[in-house]
Amino acid sequence: MRSDGKHERSKPLRFLARRRPGALERSELRPRASHRVLVAAFEGWNDAGEAASYAATFLARSWGAIPVAEIDAEEYFDFTEVRPETSIVDGAIRKIVWPTTTFSLASAPSGERMTRDVILLRGPEPQLRWKSYCESIISFCHRFGVESVLCLGAYLSEVTHSHPVPISGSSGDERLEVRDGVSPSLYEGPTGIVGVLGAALTRSGISNASVWASVPCYSLPVSAKAALALVNTATRLLGRSVDTTGLAKEAADYERRMDELVREDENVAAYVARITEMEDQIGSEPSTEGLAEEIERYLRDGRSG
């Protein structure tokens, strides 16, 4: 409480102290000659089959990303909707884990001058104050050399699990249509934090794009296959490699379990047969290869172009 008796609001964007294991000094986050790229994924509405959040977590773990900052949950979450979790530590002390948004730095491998640092942003979709929440992300980007942002998303769609995962891409930056020949998304309707963040980034002058995986409406809770498709797309766009052997095995196991689900549930089997017939009649979804190439060039060039 301040001296005048009023409560002082905490700063939503908090940098992790050096004493926290694995945390970095702010000096280690200073912008370098080549700009950083931020990859964002949010749990919830934008995360069908948990594909986007699973992909981002896989990248963070594979690249040894170190937490560097977080957005305080107090300002943006309704804790009756996204509840904190409690756990017992050392048999007695009870610990509360809050639904925090975390920035983690995956530094470029030493000796690879053309590879950029990647900052991974992960957390639940907030319930409150989306505009302020996006401003906290933009503030981080401006202060620490992030000049382009790639958002990962996943949505439920009438696709089948046995086909390759359709990946679509879009950008909220109108300059793409003129400069790179990439048309912005034609979707109209309710949107999530990914759409709101993309619009806010564009207004602030930060180049951004999003890639989305289509997940079957009858999918099991965690679609490792869709996560693998997002990982493969993101790493190609970023020009940075990652070993996907383990995730590919998880994707194969997911497909086997989906086959079992179809065999055991006649309603699901009938639905899959109908979707398969539709796919055979109209063909696969339009290729996004050209769009991905344009997004790749846009993220590579950033605003320097």
User: Looking at the whole model, is its pTM more than 0.85?
Assistant: no
Q: Is residue 47 part of a domain?
A: yes
Neighbours of 297 (CB within 10 A): 14
Q: Is residue 2 part of a domain?
A: no
Model confidence at 72, pLDDT cuts 50, 70, 90, reads confident
Neighbours of 20 (CB within 10 A): 10
Model confidence at 172, pLDDT cuts 50, 70, 90, reads low
pLDDT at 5 over 50: no
For residue 88, the model assigns a pLDDT of 80
* Residue-range definition of the domain harbouring residue 173: 13-304
**Beta strand spans in 33-164 (E):** 36-43, 66-71, 85-89, 93-97, 101-106, 118-124, 146-157
Q: Is residue 161 part of a domain?
A: yes
Neighbours of 221 (CB within 10 A): 6
Q: Which of 187, 300, 176, 160 is nearest to 237 (CA)?
A: 300
Contact 47, 153 (CB under 8 A): yes
The CB-based long-range contact list for 79-86 (8 Å cut-off, 24+ gap) reads 81/127, 82/124, 82/127
Q: Is residue 147 part of a domain?
A: yes
pLDDT at 92 over 80: no
Q: Across residues 80-97, what is the average pLDDT? A: 81
Q: Is residue 124 part of a domain?
A: yes
Model confidence at 287, pLDDT cuts 50, 70, 90, reads very low
For residue 17, the model assigns a pLDDT of 54
Q: Is residue 7 part of a domain?
A: no
Q: Is residue 249 part of a domain?
A: yes
Find which of 64-73, 82-91, 162-171, 269-278 is predicted with most confidence, using mean pLDDT: 64-73
Q: Is residue 58 part of a domain?
A: yes
Neighbours of 164 (CB within 10 A): 10
214 sits in which H/E element? strand 207-216
C-alpha span between 153 and 255 (Å, rounded): 20
**Reduced to 3 states, what is the DSSP secondary structure of residue 21?**
coil
pLDDT at 173 over 60: no
Domain total of the chain: 1
The whole-angstrom distance between residue 30's C-alpha and the CA centroid of its chain comes to 23
pLDDT at 1 over 50: no
For residue 305, the model assigns a pLDDT of 43
pLDDT at 167 over 60: yes
CATH for 79:
3.40.50.10900
List all residues 6 or more positions away from 247 whose beta carbon is below 8 Å from its beta carbon: 58, 224, 227, 228, 231
Neighbours of 136 (CB within 10 A): 21
C-alpha span between 172 and 25 (Å, rounded): 33
